[in-house]
Amino acid sequence: MERRKFLQTCSAGILSLPGALALKGSGKNLLGEANGEPIPKRPLGRTGEKLSIIALGGLVLAKEEQAMADKLVREAIDHGVNYFDVAPSYYDAQDRMGSALRPFRKNVFLACKTLKRDKQGAEEELNESLAKLMTDHVDLYQMHALTKIEDVEQVLGPNGAIETFLKAKKEGKLRFIGFSAHSTEAALLAIDKFDFDTVLFPINYACILKADFGPRVIARAKEKKMGILALKVLARQTWSEENMRKEYPKCWYQPILDPKESELAFRFTLSQPVTATVPPGDPRLFKRALELAHEFTPLRPEDEAKLRDLAAGLNPIFGQKPA
């Protein structure tokens, strides 16, 4: 497709009705039956685990009725999703996920996080999360949103959260230790200072192709044979239209709504050396991610060229200030 036609297609999609557009693709209902092959799985670094290439993130369940949360989890399971990610900061998501996952807990990989930087706070929050999630352990516990150098120094220092993580691992309350970050500097320092099992980081076409945000973290994590988990796969740019923002209250960024752009963006992220990606928290966007996961093929050079052209006109959510 010529560049002009590609850009026109994406622009037309973004200006269309947002709620309906995000569900285009296979034509299934939001809670439609899974069919065909299950979603592919990939190895998670050196852990020995294999995860579905997408997760169901806790925000998808947050602020939903329990019956809807149960249906969303069951649909994810039916499609082959075995990776579930949640955090205490995601409103009531832990309560919703704990109940919904209870029948399937032995067959899924459950990841949780803590924003607490100190030993005592992290221990209290871990125990509270286990209670809400109705389980005696999480498979992956992560230091959540390391942003500043001071965050890394605190969690890995004396009386830092890492002491709780190591103690809980010995007690069987967690299996693997990871972190999430939205800062290249914080992520690289964390990788160098501790032997984490995983890193959860924004790996997004606009951030990489326009702002060069992400490649250094990917390369360093790959060197250490860490599991690399991706955030913001369907993030387009910073918000520019308030009416659209109201349509997607669980997204703090403008999501990708155009079917072709979302397909290329998804393929871009999953063509990096990552295990899996956590889609946005809106149930409609999770549905789109399910479709894309079933259809995944590696990105071709000509497709990346199209994304590079598109990224040139965007304000990435990380890596640079909006113009």
- pLDDT tens digits, one per residue of 68-77: 999 999 999 9
Q: Is 50 exceeded by the pLDDT of residue 37?
A: yes
Burial of 74 (0-12, 13-18, 19+ CB in 10 A): middle
Q: Write the DSSP string, 201-235.
A: EE--HHHHHHH--SHHHHHHHHHTT-EEEEE-TTE
Mean pLDDT of 21-27: 36
Identify the pLDDT of residue 320: 66
Residue with token string 């918000």: 239
CATH number at residue 235: 3.20.20.100
Closest Cα to residue 261, out of 24, 54, 37, 49?
24
Enter the pTM of the model: 0.89
What is the tens place of the pLDDT at every residue in 108-117?
Answer: 999 999 999 9
Instruction: Classify residue 323: in a domain, yes or no.
Output: no
Average pLDDT, the chain: 90
Average pLDDT value for residue range 292-296: 97
pLDDT, mean of residues 82-94: 98
Residue 288 belongs to domain spanning: 3-311
pLDDT digits 0-9 by tens, 195-218: 999 999 999 999 999 999 999 999
The arithmetic mean of pLDDT across residues 117-125, rounded, is 98
Integer-rounded Cα Rg, in Å, for the chain is 19
Residue 71 lies in a domain: yes
- pLDDT greater than 70 at residue 6: no
For the segment 224-250, the average pLDDT, to the nearest whole number, is 90
245-273 burial, b at 16+ Cβ within 10 Å, e below that, comes to eebbebbebbbbbbbebbbbbbbbbbebe
Exposure string of 138-165, with b = 16+ CB inside 10 Å and e = fewer, is: bbbbbbbbbeeeebbebbbeeebbbbbb
DSSP three-state, residue 287:
helix
* 92, two tokens: 């009531």
More confident residue, 5 or 286: 286
Q: Tell me whether residue 321 is in a domain.
A: no
Report if residue 80 sits inside a domain. Answer: yes
- Angstrom distance (rounded) from CA 215 to CA 201: 11
pLDDT at residue number 10:
40
Q: What is the pLDDT of residue 2?
A: 38
- Give the per-residue pLDDT at 245: 81
CA distances 238 to 31, 183, 264, Å, are 29, 17, 19
Q: How confident is the model at residue 128 (pLDDT cuts 50, 70, 90)?
A: very high
Specify if 222 maps to a domain: yes
Beta bridge partners of 233: none
Residue 154 to residue 82: CA distance in whole angstroms:
32
Q: Which residues contact 243 (CB under 8 A, 6 or more apart)?
A: none
pLDDT > 70: percent of the chain: 88
pLDDT recorded at residue 34: 54
**What is the pLDDT confidence band of residue 35, given thresholds at 50, 70 and 90?**
low
Q: Number of folded domains in the chain? A: 1
Confidence of residue 26 (pLDDT cuts 50, 70, 90): very low
Residue 320 in domain: no
